[in-house]
Each structure stands twice: as structure tokens, then as C-alpha cells.
Amino acid sequence: MKLYVVVKNALRTLLRNPMRAMLTALGIVIGVGSVIAMMEIGSGSSEALKKSISNMGANMLMIFPGMTSTGGVSGGMGSAQNLSPEDCEAIIRECPAVRTAAPTVRVRVQVVRGNRNWVPNQVQGTTSAYLDVRGNTIEEGSPISERDILNCNRVCLLGKTVARELFGDESPVNQEVRIKSITFRVIGVLAAKGANMMGMDQDDIILAPWTTVKYRIAGSSMTTANQSQSSSTSSTGSTRGVLYPSGSTSLYPEKSSTQTANTPLTMRFATVDMILASAVSPEAIPDAIKQITALLRERHRLHPQAEDDFSIRDMTEMTNTLSSTTKLMTNLLLCVAMISLVVGGVGIMNIMLVSVTERTREIGLRMAVGARSRDILLQFLVESIVLCLVGGIIGIMLGHGGAILVALMLGWPVSTSIPAIVAAFMVSAAVGIIFGYYPAWKASRLDPIEALRYE
């Protein structure tokens, strides 16, 4: 017997009792529908999560200085002043897995413009690489240039929130703001990024050259727990060397090497609060961490047994925590949906058993006119599979529609998942086979004489 004839007969039989078929398939409809809706909403939210993580800075690594501990009093993470801008430059130069890096100096100060004032969440001193690392773009104006950094220029970029608070609807570019009573020229406005995963406003920010922030604004940086530690305003860093390239300005006569060795000059390096680095790809993050660690240990001249005097953090921890939470939720809901599929399958089995009993005479007759037991088996199996597939298709449409509805009404992110639809289709067919097999087998085992005589 041709398969399509069997399928056609099955459809006809089911249509003979449409209400019953619908109610029977309802369990499958609900099961498949909820699976699809869960998958689409779940994958939508995990995609949104990924987006918001990459929004914070794709493949970002944060390098913090170590901590100081004086007489048993720990200064806390980042209290040591041992990360220099030269470390940052070396990282860019020598670590192949790092795309770019930016030093940052943070202060929290008041910004004044005319009669308005505002304390931005972050006032960051940095380089133009910062924009690249954080994935920021400039909406209007120009970025911080190399020259601004070398000259300690008083220029700054405003985040959207700060621009709105201080300038309202006016364009802030080329206007002036005072940061801690020092006049800065606004050279640009950052494009809005919105809140990050922790709900922190990423637009409440001012970016300025790190040299300016370090030497002109910061008496002490925010991350310096010990406020008594005065900031280093004198520097022998390479940036200063670039700034005053010729040695002709030296005030004192050159020291001989012996003199230098005898009276070592205690030099104070410019330090930064944090270095932000960006790996070339998400897969390169572990490599980047290894390379940076090796480089910084070498630069800081650490004994092989000594502990790192810095720490590197990446976003994977955070990503993992957050995505494992959403994954857990999705899986739990999937389990519930699976249970409803099983319940639906039991419903199918129940109705198929009733149907076999009801149609015992028909089975006997079909056997009498030449149906083999496998024909009967196929007939009932196909009936239950068709029932499940129709239920599955309706469920897919309902689930998809539900997900779209959720997206429209609640604004949740959803994404259509083709594998989920295919899987749902297969699962409903499988439910049809698994739960339809026993009734069909029972039908095929009937004795034709008994079946014909059945009342």
C-alpha cells in the first residue's frame, strides 16, 4: 500500500472526528508551542546578553595594579602604584594576542559649565585606544590625539548623559567646561551606549588625555585607597622624554655611571590606575592573558617564585555567570515543556487505544479483505504520527506567534531558531511513533475472527 494513500486515509479518519482530533493533539500543541516559545525567547535573551557584553568592550581585559600592604593593613586591590603607561605601550608592542590597549586614570570630580554642574560617574584619563577597546564611537567632533596626550592638552570628550546635563540641547563641541576649576575644551561627544549589564549608565562619562587627568586634575586617584599617598607629578617616563626630546634643557651636569650607582635617584614613575586591553578575538583571550602576564612579570622584575603584583580580569567570568543563569532558566522551562510533551503523548496513546477498541470491527474487516498485520500497524501508526505532526505544526506556529507577541508587547528580545523548529517537528513525530506504537501494535495483533465478532 502506497504511503501517501495511508496518510490520506489517516487524515480522512482524523477529520471524521475533528473535535476529538483537536483535543487529542492539544497536549502536543501546547508542548511544542511552549518549547518553541521558550527556545526563541531564550536564544533571544542570550543573544541580547552577548550584545550587551560586547557593548561593554569586545574581548576586553582589565589589568589592575597589585595591592600594598603596610604593617598588616591591606590597601585593597589596585592600591599599589605599579602599572605605568610604559607597561601599556609595551603590551601593545609585544603581545601579539592583544589588539590594542589603553591606560586609564580615574577621578571623580565635579564638572561645571555656566550655572550647571554635574559629577560624572567616571572622569577617565586615557588615550584614543580607549574608544577602540570599549567599542565607543564618536558621534560628533574628533577623538583625543597623540599630541593632546603629549602636551597635556585640556581637551575632553563628553558622554551623552554629561553632554545633556551640562549643555541641554546645545552642541557641546568647542565649548568649554571646567573640571575641578580647570578649563577644558570639549572636542567631541560620544555616541550613546546605554546602560551596561549592571545597569550602570555608560554615557555618564568624560574622557580626557591621561596626562592631563594625571598631572592637572588628580591630586589622588579614586582607586588609591590610601589618600595620603601623594600622586606623582614628576616623571621620567618616556612620554616626558618625547615631550622634551633634546637633552639640552638639563639643569645639572651629567652624572658619571659611578655617581649614579653611588647615589641612586629615587625616581617616581607615572602610574595609571588600570590598563584596558583588547584581545584580537574571543578565542585569543587566554593567550593574551598569558602574554601580558609574562611581559609584566618581566617588566616588573619579579622573582619566578613571587606572586604577580598585578591582576588581570576578563569578562568571561561575568559572561559565564550571566549566560549560565539564562541557560539554566531556559533549560528549566524546556524541561517543563518536555513534560507537557510527554503528557500530550500519553493523551495521544490513550485516544489511540480507545480508537483501536472502537474500530475493532473495522480492523477485523480490513484483515478479512486482505490487510496484513503490518498494514494495520502502519495505518494506526501513521494516524498517530499525523495527529502529532499536525499538533506539532500548530504548536510551532503558536509558539512562534507567541514569541513574536512577547517581542511586540513586552519588548523582550526574541530570535527565530530554525534548529528549534526542526527539532520540534522531529520530536512531535517521535512522540507520535513512541506513543502510537503500542496501540498500533495492539491493533495489528487482533485476531480477525474475534475482531469481526466484536460488538
Partner 1 sequence: MELITLKNICKTYNLGDIDVPVLKGVSLDIMNGEMVALMGASGSGKSTLMNILGCLDRPTSGEYWLDGEEVSRISSDRRALIRNHKIGFVFQNFNLLPRTSAVDNVAMPLAYTAGHLSSREARKRAEAMLEKVGLADRMEHVPSQLSGGQQQRVAIARALINHPPVLFADEPTGNLDSHTSAEVLKMFQDLNRTENITIILVTHDAHVAGHAQRVIHISDGLINDGVYCAAPPVEEDVR
| Minimum gap (Å) between residue 439 Cβ and partner 1 | 19
Of 404, 382, 401, nearest to 393 by C-alpha is: 401
Residue identified by cell 567632533 is 141
Residues 131/132/133/138 CA torsion (nearest 10 deg): 30
22 or 452: CB nearest partner 1: 452
Which of the ranges 259-267, 305-313, 344-352, 370-378 carries the binding residues for partner 1, by CB under 8 A?
A: 370-378
| Minimum gap (Å) between residue 335 Cβ and partner 1 | 41
Among 3, 5, 198, 418, the residue binding partner 1 under the rule CB under 8 A is 5
93 or 361: CB nearest partner 1: 361
Q: Does 360 bind partner 1 (CB under 8 A)?
A: no
5 or 198: CB nearest partner 1: 5
| Minimum gap (Å) between residue 11 Cβ and partner 1 | 14
Q: What angle do CA 266, 267, 268 make, to 5 degrees?
A: 125
Burial 395-431 (b: 16+ CB within 10 A, else e): bbebbbebbeebbeeeeebbbebeebbebbbebbebb
Separation CA 452–CA 88 (nearest Å): 90
Which residues 6+ apart lie within 8 Å of 127 measured at CB?
102, 103, 144, 146, 149, 209, 210
| Minimum gap (Å) between residue 391 Cβ and partner 1 | 23
Q: Does 18 bind partner 1 (CB under 8 A)?
A: no
Inter-residue contact 343 to 31 (CB < 8 Å): yes
Q: Does 454 bind partner 1 (CB under 8 A)?
A: no
Separation CA 158–CA 172 (nearest Å): 8
Which of the ranges 256-264, 345-353, 422-430, 445-453 carries the binding residues for partner 1, by CB under 8 A?
A: 445-453
| Minimum gap (Å) between residue 371 Cβ and partner 1 | 5
341 or 371: CB nearest partner 1: 371
User: For residue 300, what is its C-alpha cell?
Assistant: 616588573
Determine how many CB atoms are found less than 10 A away from the CB of residue 175.
16
Q: Does 383 bind partner 1 (CB under 8 A)?
A: no
Which of the ranges 130-138, 311-319, 372-380, 433-441 carries the binding residues for partner 1, by CB under 8 A?
A: 372-380
Q: Does 2 bind partner 1 (CB under 8 A)?
A: yes
Q: Does 354 bind partner 1 (CB under 8 A)?
A: no
User: For residue 182, what is its C-alpha cell?
Assistant: 580647570
What's the one-letter identity of residue 243?
L
Which of the ranges 56-64, 147-155, 179-187, 371-379 carries the binding residues for partner 1, by CB under 8 A?
A: 371-379
Which of the ranges 29-37, 259-267, 315-323, 360-368 carries the binding residues for partner 1, by CB under 8 A?
A: 360-368
Which of the ranges 24-32, 43-51, 219-227, 369-377 carries the binding residues for partner 1, by CB under 8 A?
A: 369-377
| Minimum gap (Å) between residue 46 Cβ and partner 1 | 49
| Minimum gap (Å) between residue 384 Cβ and partner 1 | 19
Phi, psi dihedrals of residue 177, rounded to the nearest 5°: -130, 160
Inter-residue contact 217 to 109 (CB < 8 Å): yes
Which residues 6+ apart lie within 8 Å of 89 measured at CB?
238
Inter-residue contact 373 to 364 (CB < 8 Å): no
Inter-residue contact 396 to 36 (CB < 8 Å): yes
Among 267, 372, 401, 408, the residue binding partner 1 under the rule CB under 8 A is 372
Q: Does 28 bind partner 1 (CB under 8 A)?
A: no
# residues contacting partner 1 (CB under 8 A): 22
User: For residue 275, what is its C-alpha cell?
Assistant: 590598563
Q: Does 375 bind partner 1 (CB under 8 A)?
A: yes
Burial 244-263 (b: 16+ CB within 10 A, else e): eeeeeeeeeeeeeeeeeeee
Separation CA 191–CA 203 (nearest Å): 8
Q: Does 3 bind partner 1 (CB under 8 A)?
A: no
Which residues 6+ apart lie within 8 Å of 202 measured at CB?
55, 56, 159, 193, 194, 195, 196
| Minimum gap (Å) between residue 7 Cβ and partner 1 | 12
Among 16, 18, 250, 411, the residue binding partner 1 under the rule CB under 8 A is 16
Residue identified by cell 506504537 is 437
Among 199, 245, 370, 419, the residue binding partner 1 under the rule CB under 8 A is 370
Among 145, 293, 350, 373, the residue binding partner 1 under the rule CB under 8 A is 373
Which of the ranges 44-52, 53-61, 342-350, 359-367 carries the binding residues for partner 1, by CB under 8 A?
A: 359-367
Would you tell me the crossing angle of helices 316-358 and 418-444 to the nearest 10 degrees?
30
User: For residue 50, what is its C-alpha cell?
Assistant: 552577548
| Minimum gap (Å) between residue 443 Cβ and partner 1 | 15
Q: Which residues bind partner 1 (CB under 8 A)?
A: 1-2, 5, 9, 16, 361-362, 364-375, 448-449, 452
